[in-house]
Amino acid sequence: MTGMTRTSDGLDPRRRRILYRSWHRGTREMDLLLGPFVEAEVEGLDADQLDVLEHLMDAPDQELYAWFTGAKETPEGYDTPLFKRICAFHAAGS
């Protein structure tokens, strides 16, 4: 996948913002880790999950990448069920 394939049509403003941010991280690696997951799942996430996702997306790209790749241990405040769900999404080849 090389970029966003879905539009933000039909999404509320918060989900539109999250979708945009997921594909415009600053590093291509993080775009490719977060973007496809958000495209596939953003409509089904509840408000609490969106809070967790926004918190995760506030972390610096270098840290996030290190956590996703296992190069660094994921801090307690970020090692959430949603973080694990994103990891599983990619492990499944989605």
Question: Does pLDDT of 5 surpass 80?
Answer: no
65 within 8 A of 33, measured Cβ to Cβ:
yes
Question: Does pLDDT of 1 surpass 50?
Answer: no
- Predicted confidence (pLDDT) per residue in 30-87, tens digit: 999 999 999 999 999 999 999 999 999 999 999 999 999 999 999 999 999 999 999 9
pLDDT computed for residue 6 by the predictor: 62
- Predicted confidence (pLDDT) per residue in 15-25, tens digit: 999 999 999 99
44 within 8 A of 57, measured Cβ to Cβ:
no
Rounded CA-CA distance 44/42 in Å is 5
Q: What residue type is 88 in one-letter code? A: A
Rounded CA-CA distance 4/31 in Å is 9
4 within 8 A of 23, measured Cβ to Cβ:
yes
pLDDT computed for residue 76 by the predictor: 93
